Amino acid sequence: MKNWKKVAAVCMSIAVLTGVSACSPAAKQESDEVVLDVWHQFTDPESEQTKTFLAAVDNYESEHENIKIELHGLDTESYKTKISTEFASSASGIDVFYYWSPGKLKQLVNADKVLPLNDYVTDEVMSRVKEGSTSAFEFGDDLYALPIDSYMMCLFCNKTLFEEAGAEIPSTYDELIAAGEKLQTLDGVTPLVIGAKDSWLAGALYEAVALREVGAGEVQAALLGETAFTNEGFKRAAEKVIELNQKGIFGKNPLEDGEPEATADFLNGKAAMQLDGSWFAGTIDNTEESVVTDVEVITFPVVSEGQSRTDYAGGASASFFVNKNTDTPAEAADFAIYIAEQMGSKALEIGSGFPCWNVDVDESALSPTFVSLYNLYNSVETGIQNWDGILDANATAVHLEQAQSLLVEGASAESFMKAHQEAISTQE
């Protein structure tokens, strides 16, 4: 019994001391420190985007002594899974998170998981954002994030290989086939690498053709369910992808390789064209081992002569959002706005995309491929995001697996259409 009393006395003493120390000035100062848990997908240490992101985080911490940023980074595919799982529970360990809008974000907004930033975005901040670039982040009257940059899907062409094969850079679908046939005669060269093992790239390929077949307005309307997914152009686009594959334009087995392998092929001079986002320009210019020296960037060829080329696949789609359950909404919102502006302002410099912020562009500082890309970007008008940024999760999965299915033996445009019609019509 005596021992019990001793133990109780020691416990009481510890409790009292802890209580007293919690009220001391030192502890008060400590409790003023705000820790922001920031979830992101910038994990490639070689990437300029990662370097820019980390530098911006360091700057923010040094400018705000009471704020500490805890970073939680995963590569893109793992990140998507992990963050969905987090939000399926309380997501209590997330204050700020990188995400894709409007498609994927809509689900979180509907579940009331995202903090609108209306109260935190001042007129002064908005004056620095390019007009019209926030639409992907608005639902109703609420603005959920400020954009970072815009991207654009393009065809990157290795002009040296085109010259060797005596082929012209294609501007129409027929020219693409003609160039592909000539390029196939070069030993070990794939005319156009897709990296379709990564399903979003298979999707991007189909989307590029569909955009030319039906136009940005019709694509947008069909994906949002405003019109049925019955336009014959969608079917023709599927048939064209099948045709290109059967003609060997994408190599023997386009589904065997993902984006890294496709990129390696292009940079090693084993592929004459690569379909990828604008960020690929930075990769081309910053990879020292690359044997590719002369690159022309074009938008995807049109399907008929004289067709307008002003529609493009791309836009502002991803940014940093604030978890509605955060304990520190003001600090989290301030950081989300800061990091979007910092990364957006550097987008041109690092070749990741086109800034959605008003920045002065010094073309002499840009990489050569990016200058060509920037000129192309200035010539297009109506952008539509990759479909996985617009469709809901289920329809996205169906779309991407169906886009891959166009590249297998026995592919069928009819079953492609049927699967899309079912998936898109059941979207909420």
Partner 1 sequence: MKRLLSNKLYIAIFVAPALILFIAMGVVPLFITGYYGLFDYDGIGKKTFIGLQNYIDLFAADAYFLKSILNSFILAAGSLFVQLPIALLLAILLANGVKGEGFYRTVFFLPVVISSMVIGQLWCKIFNSDGLLNAILGFFGCTDDIAWLVNSKTAYMTTVIPAVWQSIGYHMVILYAGVKNISPEYYEAAKLDGATGFKAAMKITIPLLMPTIKVSATFALVGSLRVFDLVYVMTGGGPNHASEVPATLMYDNLFVKCRYGYGSAQAFFIVFECLLFSFLLNCIFKKSEENASAI
Q: Does 45 bind partner 1 (CB under 8 A)?
A: no
Tell me if 255 contacts partner 1 by CB under 8 A: yes
Rounded to whole angstroms, the Cα distance separating 302 from 173 reads 6
Of 310, 336, 304, the C-alpha closest to 323 is 336
The dihedrals phi and psi of 50, each to the nearest 5 degrees, come to -65, -45
268 touches partner 1 (CB under 8 A): no
Span interacting with partner 1, options 107-115, 208-216, 304-312, 366-374, rule CB under 8 A: 107-115
Where is 386: in which H helix or E strand?
Answer: none
The Cβ of residue 250 has, within 10 Å, a number of other Cβ atoms equal to 28
Q: In whole angstroms, how close is the CB of 180 to partner 1 at the nearest point?
A: 19
Least Å distance, CB 87 to partner 1, is 5
The answer to whether the beta carbons of residues 343 and 149 sit under 8 Å apart is yes
State the greatest distance between any 2 C-alpha atoms of the chain, in Å, as a whole number: 98
Q: State how far the alpha carbon of 6 is from the alpha carbons of 10, 12, 25, 46, 301, in Å.
A: 6, 10, 31, 59, 84
Q: Please say which residue, 265 or 349, places its beta carbon nearer to partner 1.
A: 265
Q: Which stretch binds partner 1 (CB under 8 A): 4-12, 13-21, 163-171, 386-394?
A: 386-394
Where are the alpha helices (H) located in 184-308, listed in sequence order? Answer: 199-214, 216-223, 232-246, 259-267, 280-286
Segment contacting partner 1 (CB under 8 A): 48-56, 142-150, 253-261, 339-347? 253-261
In the complex, minimum distance from the CB of residue 256 to partner 1, in angstroms, rounded to a whole number: 6
Contact 231, 217 (CB under 8 A): no
User: Smallest gap, in angstroms, from Cβ of residue 391 to partner 1?
Assistant: 11
Residue span binding partner 1 (CB under 8 A) among the ranges 230-238, 311-319, 374-382, 393-401: 393-401
CB of 395 to partner 1, least distance (A): 9
- Nearest distance from C-beta of residue 230 to partner 1, angstroms: 21
Residue 103: CB minimum distance to partner 1, A: 11
Query: Is 153 near partner 1 (CB under 8 A)?
Result: no
Instruction: Tell me whether residue 58 or residue 142 sits nearer to partner 1 (CB atom).
Output: 142
| 3-state helix/strand/coil string of 290-346 | CCCCCEEEECCCECCCCCCCCEEEEEECEEEEEECCCCCHHHHHHHHHHHHHHHHHC
Strand blocks (E) in 41-196: 67-73, 96-100, 138-139, 142-143, 149-158, 190-193
Q: Cα–Cα distance between 242 and 256 in angstroms, integer?
A: 16
Burial 331-347 (b: 16+ CB within 10 A, else e): bbbbbbbbbbbbbbbbb
* Contact range with partner 1 by CB under 8 A, out of 106-114, 212-220, 228-236, 321-329: 106-114
Output 1 or 88, the one with its CB closest to partner 1: 88
Binder of partner 1 out of 70, 174, 243, 256 (CB under 8 A): 256
Residue 8 interacts with partner 1 (CB under 8 A): yes or no: no
The count of chain residues that interact with partner 1, using the rule CB under 8 A, is: 26
In this structure, are strands 190-193 and 271-277 parallel, antiparallel, or unpaired? Answer: parallel
- Least distance in angstroms from the C-beta of 167 to partner 1: 25
| Residues 6+ positions from 21 with CB-CB distance below 8 Å | 27
Q: Which is nearer to partner 1, 27 or 111 (CB)?
A: 111
Site residues (CB under 8 A) for partner 1, limited to 62-101: 81, 84-85, 87-88
**In this complex, which beta carbon is closest to partner 1, that of residue 59 or of residue 85?**
85
- Residue selected from 9, 14, 27, 111 as contacting partner 1 according to rule CB under 8 A: 111
- Partnered with residue 157 across adjacent β-strands are 273, 296
Which of 157/196 has CB closer to partner 1? 196
Each residue 394-413 as x (binds partner 1 by CB under 8 A) or -, in order, gives x--xx--x--xx-xxxx---
Question: What whole-number distance in Å separates Cα of residue 104 and Cα of residue 380?
Answer: 26
Rank residues 23 and 88 by Cβ distance to partner 1 and give the closer one: 88
Residue-wise over 127-158: b if at least 16 C-beta within 10 A, else e? eebbeebbebbeeeeebbbbbbbbbbbbbbbb
Query: Is residue 382 involved in binding partner 1 (CB under 8 A)?
Result: no
What gap in Å lies between CA 85 and CA 77, rounded to an integer? 13
Q: Which residues bind partner 1 (CB under 8 A)?
A: 81, 84-85, 87-88, 107-108, 110-111, 113, 252-253, 255-256, 392-394, 397-398, 401, 404-405, 407-410
